[in-house]
Amino acid sequence: MSLVVMIGTSGAGKTTFAHRHFAATQILSSDAFRGMVADDANDQSATAAAFDALHYIAGQRLAAGRVTVIDATNVQRPARAQLVRLAREHDVLPVAIVLDVPESVCIARNEERPDRQFGAHVVSRQHRELRRSLKNLDREGFRRVHHLRTPAEISGAAFEVEP
Ligand code: ATP
């Protein structure tokens, strides 16, 4: 039983990856929750309310023993700490999946996306936060850290959910 925490900058492919490996109902996306609470998946002012709702639903799912995937950047330590705490409260294993994609690739992908017009500096900041985060993920409490660094590692990943 795991709480799977996706970690990666905008454009790294977290949503794409999550939907390739998990059922849509298992994935809690910060964008989707912003949409639910504020009618706009990009409304950053709705972030606190969106994560409140996301954590509540994640807690309900974990209490019921359901594998849950968090699709958010999670490049900041406090955001991850809340998720590790939630997993512990429900006695499940927090697992990190890091999509470590070059900054330039993420920026180029976002330039093609009509819904990601926030500028390259945002991805650059997230990339710096990600680099700082990498060496401490074990110590933060993640029981397994899957650090995927290349397109081949990302496209070749496979999951086995153990009963
Ligand atoms: P955000 O944090 O902004 O929501 P994200 O990390 O969830 O971004 P996705 O929405 O999955 O990223 O993907 C961003 C863009 O990159 C999409 O246009 C998607 O089609 C493309 N993409 C995702 N994964 C890959 C991949 N492995 N190879 C090429 N393009 C990809």
ipTM for the assembly: 0.95
Contact 73, 122 (CB under 8 A): no
* CA-nearest residue, atom 22 of ligand 1: 13
Name the pLDDT band for 163 (thresholds 50, 70, 90).
low
Q: What is the pLDDT of residues 6-22, one digit of tens each?
A: 999 999 999 999 999 99
Residues with CB under 6 A from ligand 1: 8, 10-16, 31, 73, 109, 113, 116, 154
* Gap from CA of 71 to ligand 1 centroid (Å): 12
Is residue 71 within 8 A of residue 30, CB to CB? The reply is yes
In this predicted structure, the answer to whether residue 36 has a pLDDT above a threshold of 80 is yes
Nearest CA to ligand 1 atom 21: 13
Q: Which two tokens stand for residue 6?
A: 């996706």
Half-sphere exposure (Cβ direction) of 101: Cα atoms closer than 13 Å = 25
Cα(29) to ligand 1 centroid in Å equals 13
Nearest CA to ligand 1 atom 9: 13
E strands present in 52-158: 68-71, 93-99, 144-148
147 forms bridges with which residues in the sheet?
98
**Integer CA distances (angstroms), 20 to 14, 16, 26, 27, 158, in order:** 10, 6, 12, 11, 10
The CA 69 to ligand 1 mean position distance, Å, reads 16
Question: What are the pLDDT digits (tens) for 49-82?
Answer: 999 999 999 999 999 999 999 999 999 999 999 9
Residues facing 28 on adjacent strands = 70
